[in-house]
Amino acid sequence: MKVVIVGGVAGGATAAARIRRLDEQAEIVVFERSGYISYANCGLPYYIGGVIEDPEELTLQTPESFFSRFRIHMKVRHEVTAIHPDRKTVSVKNLETGEAFEERYDKLLLSPGAAPVWPNLTGMDSDRLFPLRTVEDTFRIREFLEQQKPKSAVMVGGGFIGLEVAENLRELGMDVTIVQRPRQLMNPFDADMASLIHSEVRSHGVKLALGHSVEGFAAADGGVDVLLKDQPALHTDMVVMAIGVTPESDLAKDAGLALGMKGSILVNDRMETSVPDIYAVGDAVQVKHYVTGRDTLIALAGPANKQGRIAADNICGGDSRYLGSQGSSVIKIFDMTAAATGINETTALRSGLDADTVILSPMSHAGYYPGGKLMTMKVVFEKETYRLLGAQIVGYDGVDKRIDVLATAIHAGMKATELKDLDLAYAPPYSSAKDPVNMAGFMIDNISKGLKQWHLADAAKLPRDGSVTLLDTRTAEEYSAGHIDGFQNIPVDELRERIGEIEAGKPVYVICQSGLRSYIAARILEGHGFEAYNFAGGFRFYDAVMNDRALVEAAFACGMDQ
């Protein structure tokens, strides 16, 4: 059996190695357009910033090492230009010599990846504009930094790559601005959780221009002007474009393979395309979302690696199935960690799901052990069924650990209420006896048993006409330092003695700093016959989100954070 693979990196290289492990006799040839067959995409921003110093650290395997271990022919700087399914060959061009030839196959695997979105705007030919997708892109940026020594940069796009590059450039001492069309960074996160990310980014001196569209670029004063719609231009020394990627599917399209959303390659759960003996994996393929069951595109290394293994199994006569992508992700943002899995509340509601959330701010480990830090967790679940839909966590220590537990729970089909039953490892330096994941489960279990909540979206709509009671149960000092208009203050420890100050027969909406004291107050009120609603997230969360919204609105009015 002869297997030809188009594209290396996560999907193609993984499939090649797996095929060899399953079939010692197979002839395997990989054609890779770039000069690198297996490299650490996710490490590229950290080479730009000098965190990874040796460029060879980016290269996971070389053609020589791959051949030595697996006897696989890795042909770098070779571009596949056409597929001929009728005669089971591909046309190939050697980019070093210009030689063109055809290579036959018994099985063909496409792993072309995705290309950076490069919009058709004026000034896109500037040598001060850079994409970041390949090792070569990284070297170009690093060379520009070393030779030109720019003082400022604009990131167009506020996703994973945009934030990671912004951090690394800022750590080099550069003035950095992120321009993003949506009014928040990191779309996998709901806007309220993204506000915590905004705060961390701003605290390290990165400016945000959210809600602005880039209309083009123009050379000016030895640098480049970023032209914004209805706003003054931003002058900078360099621009990194990171507004997303698009599937590299031209080969598949020209060969008559069926395509899916946004031109992606259509595959089944065996990673088979519409043409016999042709498989496809990675960023170029359409997949099912594990939570919603809907078609989606998820360009992450984890899914690409799994798909490469599954395709290899099936190429070698097995029957492996891809269950779908869940979108689990984590990112370092200066001192902070942000992570998500499944779908967020915004996506759930847009998908027609009747979703609810809990928001909590637990410590990363036992409070009495030094060094604990707060994290903010938002867990999304379906009402009535309590199906676990997704989670987002923003914090410092222990964020990655908790998101992986929640990702596993979603994959296992656990109900959100069952999070309380998980037996998780505990020692004071690492967790609490009631882990944050357990705490989320306790809260959702309480809701399933009748506890009522109110959310940040309800705050502006709460009546101030006396028809409901608005109650802040923090200390007098906390209340005087800031509170929501219309809320009276009765500290939770005084509530039983002062219960007579609350008018009977009216619903009571309760808030505290983090949600714990207001929960206790809600239980006290219920015990005295009141209908009580506990605020999801606490005043700390409310204040952070509202302050961020005010900053975003102010910046939108003038074009950029001040």
Question: Is 558 a residue of the active site?
Answer: no
Lookup: tokens for 249: 């599917």
| 3 state DSSP class of 355 | strand
The residues that bridge with 296 in the sheet, in sequence order, are 287
CA–CA dist 95, 84 (Å, integer): 20
Backbone φ/ψ region at 10: left (φ over 0), alpha (ψ -120 to 50), beta? alpha
CA–CA dist 369, 354 (Å, integer): 40
CA–CA dist 398, 366 (Å, integer): 12
Parallel, antiparallel or unpaired: strands 336-342 and 329-333: antiparallel
CA–CA dist 110, 116 (Å, integer): 18
Parallel, antiparallel or unpaired: strands 2-6 and 27-32: parallel
3-state secondary structure 385-432: CCEEEEEEEEECCCHHHHHHHHHHHHHCCCEHHHHHHCCCCCCCCCCC
CB atoms closer than 10 angstroms to residue 482: 12
User: What's the DSSP call for residue 302?
Assistant: H
Please answer whether residues 14 and 21 qualify as being in contact, where contact means their C-beta atoms are separated by less than 8 angstroms.
no
Please answer whether residues 392 and 440 qualify as being in contact, where contact means their C-beta atoms are separated by less than 8 angstroms.
no
Kindly name the residue from 42, 316, 512, 558 that is annotated as catalytic. 42
Distance set, CA 266 to CA 59, 116, 272, 300 (Å): 30, 20, 8, 17
Q: What angle do CA 301, 41, 215 make, to 5 degrees?
A: 100
CA–CA dist 49, 142 (Å, integer): 8
Q: What is the CA radius of gyration of the chain?
A: 27
Lookup: tokens for 555: 């910046």
Closest CA to 198 of 182, 185, 188, 209: 185
Lookup: tokens for 477: 């000092």
Phi, psi of 522, rounded to the nearest 5 degrees: -60, -40
Q: Which residues are catalytic?
A: 42
